[in-house]
Structure 1
């Protein structure tokens, strides 16, 4: 961000869309601090961050749209420990909460990277999808850039100390969720096989 300015902010947020362990919560306050020091524009930093989030969301939306429902359902069924029922449940949830899921999902690490895929699969109107993404991402970016700007010099040591910790925390949460998911699914498969064997 120091080298590329506002463009660097947008690229960092776009990169986070594809590499979730790079949390925007550690990136955006740094942009706010640079704006506090007068080394970049607060407004342009916010605009670049929001544009990066939009571009990443559009790409994932296009992936979901290109795959379509049937192909995605087939792919999910071939993933170890997943089955078609998982896809059906996720689809039902998104059909009910699609707009809210996209809007609020922009404020949840990891979720914000992939919530665009079911939006593309369900062919949510692009203008609606863009509006939800813009509002959710715009608010999220304003909060974190604003925090960096408001706290000024006080935010710099905190960023140096906690940005790596935050990234590791995100990775740890992902690892815990993966382990929990695998254990739960293995137990379910064992129960199903026992039930089939008992018939």
Structure 2
């Protein structure tokens, strides 16, 4: 992947880094933790302009996020509720609670979500489903992405040939996020299975 990224940036310059980040938003397995520090290192070698790198990577983040926003908007609330009703262990009331939470905290979630691995991409979909005003979504996404991108690009710039250290440290944070998500899913499944057992026992007792 590193070789592909280098070739892309050598061919297109800073716009190549922007394209890579746009793809990273659509395909989360492409890690921004690799793309951004590598772009910063490349800029430090004089191959690309630092300001152009920040501009293009942020533009790529916004374009990728907008694509996922429109996926959510096309999916819409009614289809989301219909899909939720078909999923085992999930209730329509769960969607209602999630909607209420998003209406209350959606702006903070979109902004800070741009700085959390995995959620960076996924947060755009519920924003689209809930039809967060497009201007607000774009502004929050731009601000959060610019902050995230600047930190990692400058880290790559400062570390030089040791830019890959960024990936190592952030990788631990990503693994922690994945562990928390898995734990939350296991707790959710455990609670729902417990509720089903109680419901069956109550029905039998009645």
Instruction: Give your verdict on TM over 0.5.
Output: yes
> For residues 102 and 190 of structure 1, do their structure 2 counterparts lie closer, same or farther at Cα, with a shift above 3 Å needed?
same
- Counterpart CA distance in 1 for 2:79 and 2:119 is 22
Equivalents in 1 of 2:34, 2:45: separation in Å?
18
Distance of 1:164 and 1:138 partners within structure 2: 18
Name structure 2 gaps, 5 residues minimum.
none
Task: Give the Cα separation in 2 of the matches to 1:111 and 1:121.
Answer: 16
Contact 2:58–2:142 under 8 Å retained in 1? yes
2:85 pairs with 1:49: no
Question: In the alignment, which of 5, 8, 13 is matched to residue 4 of structure 1?
Answer: 8
Q: TM-score, normalised by structure 1?
A: 0.85
Matches within 5 A, 1:75-154: 75-154=83-162
Compute the TM-score of the two structures, normalised by the length of structure 2. Answer: 0.82
Contact 1:23 1:166 in 2 (8 A): no
- Over the aligned positions, Cα root-mean-square deviation in angstroms equals 2.6
- How far apart, CA to CA, are the structure 2 residues paired with 1:55 and 1:197? 55
The offset of 1:121, in angstroms, is: 2.0
Alignment partner, residue 42 of structure 2: 34
Mean Cα displacement is larger for which, 140-149 or 51-60? 51-60
Is 1:197 equivalent to 2:204 in the alignment?
yes
Structure 2 equivalent of residue 186 of structure 1:
193
Q: Give the number of the structure with larger relative contact order, counting CA–CA contacts within 8 Å between residues 6 or more apart.
A: 1
Shift of 1:192: 3.4
* C-alpha separation in 1, matches of 2:50 and 2:88: 46
Q: Which runs of 5+ in 1 are unaligned?
A: none
| TM-fit CA distance, 1:190 | 2.8
Shift of 1:123: 1.7
**Structure 2: how far apart are the matches of 1:21 and 1:166?**
15
Distance 1:18 1:194 in 2: 45
Change (3 A) 1:79 1:147: same
